[in-house]
Amino acid sequence: MLNIVIFGAPGSGKGTQSEKIIEKYGLFHISTGDVLRAEIKNGTELGQIADRYISKGQLVPDELIVDMLAGVLDRNEETKKGVIFDGFPRTIPQAEALKKMLAERDTEVSAVIGLEVEEEELVDRLLKRGQVSGRSDDNLETIKSRLEVYHRQTTPLKDFYIQEQKYRKIHGSGSVDAIFDSIAEEIDNL
Ligand code: AMP
């Protein structure tokens, strides 16, 4: 059973590459950002709280995210066939919670695919996406705070997963298909 974490800064291509990974490997996709945006759209209590953090480019508190993720795993039988985690974990406590949740389900993270892209390119891509996404956080000011939050709170996870020998570095610039080929090579070698 494959459980893949797709890891990288905002704009590194996690969503795009997740779609291709699902197509080839048939994994269940969990994007915490997508789940939160659905909560906001449905006007739930979680959505109302999350909206305040997302619109400022800050992370939603760990307990809320971890509970939300556990709910998605419990509600969806298909997750037992393997999952691609997109946008989660984003902090060390989330990574520890994920390890525990998967161990309780007799499984573990198979690999962390780290998409590495230059900062300037990230900003360019996010600004371009902002012209069509309608997302409240794809504007220059919020993009800057999301990247700052990424460096401060999320990059320590790279060392966490290097220590666990799960981190696979992928050069995330170039054509979508060429990047996907490098990812598939890593997955096929697991
Ligand atoms: P994304 O769609 O992955 O770029 O996420 C958009 C926003 O949702 C982030 O900037 C955070 O505010 C929030 N978010 C998504 N995933 C998480 C997470 N794992 N932990 C905390 N906040 C998250």
DSSP 167: E
pLDDT value, residue 132 = 96
- DSSP code at position 153: I
| pLDDT at site 48 | 98
pLDDT of residue 37: 97
> What ligand 1 atom has the least distance to the C-alpha of 94?
19
CA of 78 to the centre of ligand 1 (A): 23
Ligand 1 centre distance from Cα of residue 145 (Å): 12
Beta strands per DSSP E along the chain: 2-8, 28-31, 82-86, 111-116, 167-171
Please give the mean pLDDT across all residues of the chain. 97
Read off the pLDDT of each residue in 32-39 and give the average, rounded to a whole number: 98
Q: Please say whether the beta carbons of 136 and 40 come within 8 A.
A: no
Enter the pTM of the model.
0.97
pLDDT for res 53? 98
Does the annotation mark 168 as catalytic?
A: no
Q: Are 5 and 109 in contact (CB under 8 A)?
A: yes
Cα(166) to centroid of ligand 1, in Å? 22
Which pLDDT does position 148 carry in this prediction? 98
CA triple 19-22-26, angle to 5 deg: 165
What is the length of the chain? Answer: 190
CA-based max dimension of the chain: 43
Q: What is the pLDDT of residue 151?
A: 98
- What is the pLDDT confidence band of residue 83, given thresholds at 50, 70 and 90? very high
Mean pLDDT calculated for residue range 24-47: 97
For 175-189, the pLDDT digits (tens) are: 999 999 999 999 999
Integer Cα distance of 28 and 136 in angstroms: 26
In whole angstroms, give the CA distance from residue 160 to residue 96. Answer: 10
- Say which amino acid occupies 121: E
Nearest residue (by CA) to ligand 1, atom 1, is 33
